[in-house]
Amino acid sequence: MPAENAPFAHLDEKALRALAPSGAMRPYPRNVVVVSEGDPTDSLYVVVTGRVKAFVTDENGKELVLGTIEAGDFFGELVLDGGARAASIMTLESSRFFVIPQRDAEALLTRNPEFARVLVRKLIGKVRSLTERVRDLALKDVYGRLVRFLDEQAEDQNGRRVVRERLTQADIAARIGGSREMVSRILSDLSSGGYVSVEAKQLVLHRKLPAHW
């Protein structure tokens, strides 16, 4: 399902080729790294189908997920400055991308003011999101970051709040910048208190989570 307000959500391959004649469609299976942090930046990727995560790792391999990107959206906008990739991208499910080379991406900015506005808005959104992430990492403990994450991810389903994405404890830890062991302990306590449960590999929030753990 295309992401809400995704800039390319309603464009098929023909329309994408009209925007970027040198672009190419590329399929990727699940759990494949599409681009790696530090790689040269030479293309903009439009997610036609599927879903990916953007993440960074430290020297010990610990992973911090910066966010997920769904169909209709794009990644690789740093192609415009020609610098190295700032994050790695991995597919979370089988995906297809329309890959736009740097020269076509630059031409899009010149020929298509609407695309330029979308790109600026996306970059502003990323700055705001990363600012919030830095604030959380600096000022909130793991429990506070977990509560914020669950509240943001939960959706109403048949009168209940459910985290739609099926996430492991390691996945959640990577999203909030904590350890899997700490996430496991917190979720176990919340489950014992009747606040959350796991049903069909999805987290269900039964009532408002306590402010403090």
pLDDT band at 5 (very low <50, low <70, confident <90, very high): low
The answer to whether residue 154 scores a pLDDT higher than 80 is yes
Domain count, the chain: 2
* Residue 211 belongs to a domain: no
Region 159-186 average pLDDT: 92
Residue 1 is predicted with a pLDDT of: 44
Determine the pLDDT at residue 83.
82
**Alpha-carbon separation of residue 174 from 9, 109, 146, 177, 181 (angstroms):** 28, 34, 11, 5, 12
* Three-class SS state of 59: coil
Residues 41 and 23 in one domain: yes
Contacts of 136 (CB under 8 A, 6+ apart): 144, 145, 148, 176, 177
DSSP for 157-198 reads ETTEEEE-S---HHHHHHHHT--HHHHHHHHHHHHHTTSEEE
Same domain assignment for residues 99 and 179: no
Instruction: Flag whether the pTM goes above 0.85.
Output: no
pLDDT, the chain, mean: 89
Average pLDDT over residues 20-41: 94
Q: pLDDT per residue over 76-106, tens digit each?
A: 988 888 788 989 999 999 999 999 999 998 8
Q: Are 21 and 104 in contact (CB under 8 A)?
A: yes
Would you state the pLDDT for residue 9? 75
User: What CATH number corresponds to the domain at position 86?
Assistant: 2.60.120.10
- The reply to whether 166 falls in a domain is yes
Q: What are phi and psi of 139, to 5 degrees?
A: -110, -15
**Which range marks the domain in which residue 126 is found?**
13-138
Shared domain for 155 and 106, answered yes or no, is no
pLDDT of residue 88: 96
What is the pLDDT, as a whole number, of residue 59? 84
CB 165 within 8 A of CB 153: yes
Q: Hey, what amino acid is at 148?
A: R
